[in-house]
Amino acid sequence: MRTLKTQIEINASSDKVWQTLTDFDAYGDWNPFVTSISGTLTPRAKLAVTLCQPESKPMSIAPTVTTVKDGQGFSWKGRLLIPGIFDGEHHFELTPLAEGKTRLTHYETFSGLLVPLFKKMLDTKTRRGFEAMNAALKERVEGS
C-alpha cells in the first residue's frame, strides 16, 4: 500500500472551493490533471474520468464514488482490470481555515500487486499531476 498526499492553501471559503471542485463540466477549462469528469457525485455512482499526468498520454478510468460530504470532500475508487491488481482510492478534502481560507488535501491510497512496479511513476508524474491540479484550482478559485 502506498499513499500519495498533497496539500494547498486557497484564499477562499470552503464553499467557493467546493463549488469549483464539484463543477465537473468546467474541468476542461482549468484542470491540467483531471481534464474531464462526467457522472453524478453520489455514493456508488460510476464516473467517467480522464487523467493526464505530465509527459503522458491521457488515460480514461471509470471509478466508483465512495464518499460525498457536501462542502467537505469526496472520494472515488478505481482499479486496473480486477480488484487487487492496482487499486486507487482518490480523495479531495476541504478544511476551513481562519480568515476565510481553505486547505485542500488531495491524496490517493494505492494498493495491489502492481503498486511496487509503479512507485517511481507515482512519486514523480502522479505527484506532479496532483500538484498541478492543486495550483490550478487555487488560481481558478482565487481569480474568480
- For the record, the C-alpha cell of 57 comes out as 498520454
Domains in the chain, number: 1
Supply the pLDDT for residue 83: 86
Supply the pLDDT for residue 25: 97
| Number of neighbours of residue 36 by Cβ within 10 angstroms | 17
Domain coverage including residue 8: 2-143
CATH number at residue 66: 3.30.530.20
CB neighbour list of residue 12: distance below 8 Å, 6 or more residues apart: 100, 101, 102, 141, 142
Question: What pTM value is reported for the model?
Answer: 0.94
Taking 50 as the pLDDT cut, the residues of the chain under it are none
Supply the pLDDT for residue 139: 98
